[in-house]
Structure 1
Amino acid sequence: MSKYLLNKFLYTVDRDPDLVESYRADPRGTVRWWESERANAILGCHSAERSSWLSFTAAEREALATHDHVKLVEPGAHPFLTLTLFIALYERDHPEPLSYQRAYADALGHHELPHPDYST
Protein backbone atom coordinates (compact mmCIF):
# COMPACT_ATOMS: atom_id res chain seq x y z
CA MET A 1 0.00 0.00 0.00
CA SER A 2 1.18 3.48 -0.79
CA LYS A 3 0.00 5.87 1.88
CA TYR A 4 1.76 8.58 -0.10
CA LEU A 5 -0.23 7.89 -3.26
CA LEU A 6 -3.57 7.66 -1.43
CA ASN A 7 -2.90 10.92 0.38
CA LYS A 8 -1.73 12.56 -2.85
CA PHE A 9 -5.01 11.54 -4.52
CA LEU A 10 -7.09 12.89 -1.64
CA TYR A 11 -5.09 16.14 -1.53
CA THR A 12 -5.09 16.88 -5.26
CA VAL A 13 -8.71 15.95 -5.94
CA ASP A 14 -9.97 17.98 -2.97
CA ARG A 15 -8.23 21.12 -4.24
CA ASP A 16 -9.84 21.07 -7.68
CA PRO A 17 -13.63 21.66 -7.76
CA ASP A 18 -13.92 20.07 -11.20
CA LEU A 19 -12.16 16.92 -9.98
CA VAL A 20 -14.38 16.81 -6.90
CA GLU A 21 -17.46 16.84 -9.14
CA SER A 22 -15.93 14.27 -11.48
CA TYR A 23 -15.09 12.03 -8.52
CA ARG A 24 -18.63 12.41 -7.17
CA ALA A 25 -20.28 11.61 -10.53
CA ASP A 26 -17.89 8.92 -11.81
CA PRO A 27 -15.58 7.69 -9.06
CA ARG A 28 -14.20 4.68 -10.97
CA GLY A 29 -13.50 6.73 -14.07
CA THR A 30 -11.90 9.52 -12.05
CA VAL A 31 -9.67 7.11 -10.13
CA ARG A 32 -8.64 5.40 -13.39
CA TRP A 33 -7.92 8.76 -15.08
CA TRP A 34 -6.07 10.20 -12.08
CA GLU A 35 -3.92 7.11 -11.69
CA SER A 36 -2.88 7.15 -15.36
CA GLU A 37 -2.48 10.94 -15.71
CA ARG A 38 -1.61 12.37 -12.30
CA ALA A 39 -0.31 9.64 -9.99
CA ASN A 40 3.24 9.85 -11.25
CA ALA A 41 3.39 13.63 -11.62
CA ILE A 42 5.76 15.03 -9.05
CA LEU A 43 4.08 17.61 -6.81
CA GLY A 44 5.43 21.10 -7.29
CA CYS A 45 7.53 20.23 -10.32
CA HIS A 46 7.36 21.03 -14.00
CA SER A 47 4.66 18.97 -15.73
CA ALA A 48 7.32 17.03 -17.66
CA GLU A 49 8.81 15.72 -14.40
CA ARG A 50 7.26 12.33 -13.76
CA SER A 51 8.05 9.14 -11.94
CA SER A 52 6.90 5.81 -13.31
CA TRP A 53 6.44 3.41 -10.45
CA LEU A 54 3.42 4.61 -8.44
CA SER A 55 0.10 2.83 -8.73
CA PHE A 56 -2.80 1.87 -6.48
CA THR A 57 -3.37 -1.69 -5.34
CA ALA A 58 -6.64 -3.32 -6.36
CA ALA A 59 -7.95 -2.82 -2.80
CA GLU A 60 -7.03 0.87 -2.84
CA ARG A 61 -8.68 1.37 -6.25
CA GLU A 62 -11.84 -0.30 -4.97
CA ALA A 63 -11.95 1.75 -1.76
CA LEU A 64 -11.46 4.97 -3.76
CA ALA A 65 -13.99 3.92 -6.41
CA THR A 66 -16.64 3.15 -3.79
CA HIS A 67 -15.88 6.22 -1.62
CA ASP A 68 -15.19 3.89 1.33
CA HIS A 69 -13.43 6.22 3.77
CA VAL A 70 -13.18 3.53 6.45
CA LYS A 71 -11.21 1.23 4.13
CA LEU A 72 -9.00 4.18 3.19
CA VAL A 73 -8.27 5.36 6.75
CA GLU A 74 -7.71 1.92 8.31
CA PRO A 75 -4.51 1.17 6.37
CA GLY A 76 -3.20 4.71 6.75
CA ALA A 77 -4.79 7.33 4.48
CA HIS A 78 -4.79 10.50 6.53
CA PRO A 79 -8.23 11.05 8.12
CA PHE A 80 -8.06 14.84 7.74
CA LEU A 81 -7.45 14.58 3.98
CA THR A 82 -10.17 11.97 3.68
CA LEU A 83 -12.60 14.06 5.73
CA THR A 84 -12.08 17.28 3.77
CA LEU A 85 -12.60 15.56 0.41
CA PHE A 86 -15.62 13.64 1.62
CA ILE A 87 -17.15 16.82 3.05
CA ALA A 88 -16.88 18.30 -0.44
CA LEU A 89 -18.55 15.18 -1.85
CA TYR A 90 -21.33 14.60 0.67
CA GLU A 91 -22.01 17.54 2.96
CA ARG A 92 -24.57 18.92 0.48
CA ASP A 93 -26.58 15.70 0.93
CA HIS A 94 -26.83 16.22 4.71
CA PRO A 95 -29.01 19.25 5.49
CA GLU A 96 -28.40 19.27 9.25
CA PRO A 97 -25.27 21.14 10.38
CA LEU A 98 -22.32 18.78 10.88
CA SER A 99 -24.45 15.72 10.17
CA TYR A 100 -22.01 14.37 7.58
CA GLN A 101 -19.06 14.97 9.88
CA ARG A 102 -20.84 13.05 12.64
CA ALA A 103 -21.62 10.17 10.27
CA TYR A 104 -17.96 10.10 9.19
CA ALA A 105 -16.80 9.99 12.82
CA ASP A 106 -19.34 7.30 13.73
CA ALA A 107 -18.09 5.09 10.89
CA LEU A 108 -14.56 5.37 12.30
CA GLY A 109 -15.68 5.11 15.94
CA HIS A 110 -14.48 1.53 16.32
CA HIS A 111 -10.84 2.71 16.38
CA GLU A 112 -9.15 2.88 19.75
CA LEU A 113 -6.17 5.03 20.60
CA PRO A 114 -3.53 5.07 19.39
CA HIS A 115 -4.89 5.61 15.91
CA PRO A 116 -3.39 3.82 12.91
CA ASP A 117 0.00 5.08 11.72
CA TYR A 118 -0.56 7.98 9.28
CA SER A 119 3.08 8.60 8.48
CA THR A 120 4.13 8.20 4.86
Structure 2
Amino acid sequence: MSKYLVNKFLFTVDRDPELVERYREDPRGTVEWWEAARANTLLNCVGQEASTWLRFEDAEREALATHDHCALFALGAHPFLTLTLFIAMFERDHETLGYQKQYAERLAHFALPYPDIAT
Protein backbone atom coordinates (compact mmCIF):
# COMPACT_ATOMS: atom_id res chain seq x y z
CA MET A 1 0.00 0.00 0.00
CA SER A 2 1.10 3.54 -0.68
CA LYS A 3 0.11 5.30 2.51
CA TYR A 4 1.90 8.33 1.10
CA LEU A 5 -0.37 8.46 -1.95
CA VAL A 6 -3.59 7.93 0.01
CA ASN A 7 -2.56 10.59 2.54
CA LYS A 8 -1.54 12.92 -0.30
CA PHE A 9 -5.01 12.50 -1.82
CA LEU A 10 -6.73 13.24 1.50
CA PHE A 11 -4.45 16.23 2.17
CA THR A 12 -4.73 17.85 -1.25
CA VAL A 13 -8.48 17.35 -1.65
CA ASP A 14 -9.12 18.75 1.84
CA ARG A 15 -7.31 21.98 0.98
CA ASP A 16 -9.40 22.79 -2.09
CA PRO A 17 -13.08 23.60 -1.43
CA GLU A 18 -14.03 22.79 -5.04
CA LEU A 19 -12.37 19.38 -4.79
CA VAL A 20 -14.10 18.73 -1.46
CA GLU A 21 -17.46 19.26 -3.15
CA ARG A 22 -16.45 17.26 -6.20
CA TYR A 23 -15.33 14.37 -3.98
CA ARG A 24 -18.57 14.53 -1.97
CA GLU A 25 -20.76 14.45 -5.09
CA ASP A 26 -18.71 12.12 -7.32
CA PRO A 27 -16.24 10.18 -5.22
CA ARG A 28 -15.33 7.50 -7.76
CA GLY A 29 -14.93 10.03 -10.58
CA THR A 30 -12.85 12.31 -8.37
CA VAL A 31 -10.55 9.47 -7.31
CA GLU A 32 -10.08 8.37 -10.92
CA TRP A 33 -9.43 11.94 -12.10
CA TRP A 34 -7.04 12.72 -9.22
CA GLU A 35 -5.08 9.52 -9.73
CA ALA A 36 -4.66 10.28 -13.46
CA ALA A 37 -4.04 14.02 -13.15
CA ARG A 38 -2.48 14.67 -9.75
CA ALA A 39 -1.06 11.50 -8.20
CA ASN A 40 2.31 11.90 -9.84
CA THR A 41 2.73 15.62 -9.32
CA LEU A 42 5.08 16.47 -6.52
CA LEU A 43 3.46 17.93 -3.42
CA ASN A 44 3.99 21.69 -3.10
CA CYS A 45 6.20 21.89 -6.21
CA VAL A 46 5.95 23.57 -9.58
CA GLY A 47 3.79 21.80 -12.15
CA GLN A 48 6.69 20.79 -14.41
CA GLU A 49 8.13 18.39 -11.84
CA ALA A 50 6.47 15.00 -11.58
CA SER A 51 7.07 11.34 -10.97
CA THR A 52 5.65 8.58 -13.17
CA TRP A 53 5.05 5.51 -11.02
CA LEU A 54 2.51 6.35 -8.30
CA ARG A 55 -0.92 4.75 -8.43
CA PHE A 56 -3.48 3.48 -5.94
CA GLU A 57 -3.88 -0.20 -5.22
CA ASP A 58 -7.38 -1.58 -5.81
CA ALA A 59 -8.26 -1.64 -2.08
CA GLU A 60 -7.16 1.98 -1.66
CA ARG A 61 -9.05 3.13 -4.75
CA GLU A 62 -12.23 1.37 -3.58
CA ALA A 63 -12.01 2.73 -0.02
CA LEU A 64 -11.54 6.26 -1.34
CA ALA A 65 -14.29 5.85 -3.94
CA THR A 66 -16.79 4.69 -1.31
CA HIS A 67 -15.79 7.18 1.42
CA ASP A 68 -14.95 4.21 3.67
CA HIS A 69 -12.92 5.78 6.46
CA CYS A 70 -12.78 2.49 8.38
CA ALA A 71 -11.14 0.71 5.44
CA LEU A 72 -8.79 3.65 4.97
CA PHE A 73 -7.81 3.49 8.65
CA ALA A 74 -7.22 -0.26 8.38
CA LEU A 75 -5.01 0.39 5.35
CA GLY A 76 -2.93 2.88 7.34
CA ALA A 77 -4.33 6.22 6.18
CA HIS A 78 -3.80 8.90 8.79
CA PRO A 79 -7.02 9.26 10.81
CA PHE A 80 -6.67 13.04 11.19
CA LEU A 81 -6.53 13.46 7.42
CA THR A 82 -9.66 11.37 6.89
CA LEU A 83 -11.44 13.07 9.77
CA THR A 84 -10.78 16.64 8.62
CA LEU A 85 -11.74 15.91 5.01
CA PHE A 86 -14.83 13.92 5.94
CA ILE A 87 -15.94 16.63 8.39
CA ALA A 88 -15.74 19.11 5.52
CA MET A 89 -17.90 16.82 3.40
CA PHE A 90 -20.42 15.41 5.86
CA GLU A 91 -20.67 17.53 9.01
CA ARG A 92 -23.39 19.64 7.38
CA ASP A 93 -25.63 16.54 7.24
CA HIS A 94 -25.54 16.00 11.03
CA GLU A 95 -26.31 17.80 14.27
CA THR A 96 -23.44 19.46 16.14
CA LEU A 97 -20.60 16.93 16.51
CA GLY A 98 -22.90 14.27 15.09
CA TYR A 99 -20.55 13.31 12.30
CA GLN A 100 -17.52 13.17 14.59
CA LYS A 101 -19.39 10.85 16.95
CA GLN A 102 -20.47 8.61 14.06
CA TYR A 103 -16.89 8.56 12.76
CA ALA A 104 -15.60 7.45 16.18
CA GLU A 105 -18.34 4.84 16.63
CA ARG A 106 -17.49 3.25 13.27
CA LEU A 107 -13.83 2.98 14.35
CA ALA A 108 -14.63 1.67 17.86
CA HIS A 109 -14.05 -1.97 16.89
CA PHE A 110 -10.33 -1.33 16.35
CA ALA A 111 -8.16 -2.38 19.27
CA LEU A 112 -4.54 -1.69 20.07
CA PRO A 113 -2.19 -1.88 18.38
CA TYR A 114 -3.77 0.34 15.76
CA PRO A 115 -2.68 0.07 12.14
CA ASP A 116 0.65 1.78 11.50
CA ILE A 117 0.05 5.28 10.12
CA ALA A 118 3.73 6.12 9.50
CA THR A 119 4.58 6.99 5.91
> Within 5 Å, which residues of 2 pair with 1:1-120?
1-94=1-94, 96-120=95-119
Query: TM-score, structure 1 length as denominator?
Result: 0.97
Query: Which whole-Å CA distance do the structure 2 matches of 1:118 and 1:81 have between them?
Result: 11
What is the percentage of aligned positions where both structures have the same residue?
A: 68
Q: Secondary structure at the match of 1:74?
A: helix
Any unmatched runs of 5+ in structure 2? none
Any unmatched runs of 5+ in structure 1? none
What letter is aligned with 1:60? E
Number of positions where the alignment pairs a residue of Structure 1 with one of Structure 2 = 119
CA RMSD of aligned residues (A): 0.7
Query: Which whole-Å CA distance do the structure 2 matches of 1:75 and 1:88 have between them?
Result: 22
CA drift at 1:46: 1.1
Query: Which whole-Å CA distance do the structure 2 matches of 1:58 and 1:115 have between them?
Result: 22
